[in-house]
Structure 1
């Protein structure tokens, strides 16, 4: 990476803002689209100039209208550029609690459109960062507990993976700064577990009473939340550790929750 390298971000949201902040601390200059960005996605001339000038281009824009909005509008301009894409481990679907790594099949769960976009960025030679449940400052189980919105669901075998947003930032920057190989990288913590375990630890930390153990029907969850509980998997992070030298600062939900007190 040369001095004052330029990172251009499509979609400056919760996770990509954290990545941008970490990149600035490593002397990257940042420009971005999105409601809190400084570039207008619809300004084609301005966008083409940003893309041409960027040393690395990262997209956090989710699928829309049956495809990837970034590739639909500016895919041709990305040819020959170093690119990355924030994807989801939801593309692995339900594995009955089994471990999945980057070689596992994708597109067999709820996130078929996301899987199609993931595959398209992969085919273009991108670094794909597959993310599980994201938490961090301003968006975490402690806040849900305090607001009375936390649930404990009676699904004894259900487990999932999660990652602190700052660990996503360190993993993405490791890949970008080292010019790591193209391909998919799972960025999740070391300890997949039940959502109930996370809520119970959060309640212990802040001295709150446990929410009742409920069935899915009793909890009256949104369709999105019900979909979350319909899938059960453990996401392996060994590839990111081996190839990126990445080590999560919050290897389990316990350290992550303590950091948010």
Structure 2
């Protein structure tokens, strides 16, 4: 369109086309791009920790705002470079309900990308911690965040996971609405900044935070704590994607005779 934006119907059609492309992508490409997706989100997480920890003692409010402003760089890299990210890939559900991909294709993508997102997040966590990128203040800030995530109730993790991925998928969808790079950047940036500022839980970001904290101090919590957090947050993230993707589909795309 002349104004550079997609209509809602064009937008849902594009979400379906993206879903078809992702569902039919060769396994090796999914693995490689999954690693990049996890690494990009982890880099955003590392930037969040470092920027926030520098001011948390003097101005905790601004420290949180600054970290939230830095974190979206990770998703911007995912969107602009075409990496695979589990949370936004849950929008494949739109292509599935439109009968353009099979359930097996959808699960193949989501499981593969989830696992290799962790590989990417682990690589960045290892390099960041073992390479000395975190000073004492950053490590203390990271460990405090990670401990709270492990100690949170299952219900809290689940509902925060839902709202997190409503915003993440909303950010990705907003990036689809624009045909120019600046529009994509702004569209993706603001919702991600909001979820970090509020304190919602993102499964792939948590892979980085919890793994990095564990690498820094193995006695902080057990592997079971990481799995506990990821299980409930992942469930919430899946529901969050459904909560934004399916209403868009049924409101703007599904034909009445279907």
Higher relative contact order (CA 8 A, sep 6+): 2
Considering fraction of residues, name the structure with more helix. Answer: 2
TM bucket (normalised to shorter chain) is: under 0.3
Higher strand share: 1
TM-score normalised per structure 1 = 0.23
* Superposition TM-score, scaled by structure 2 size: 0.23
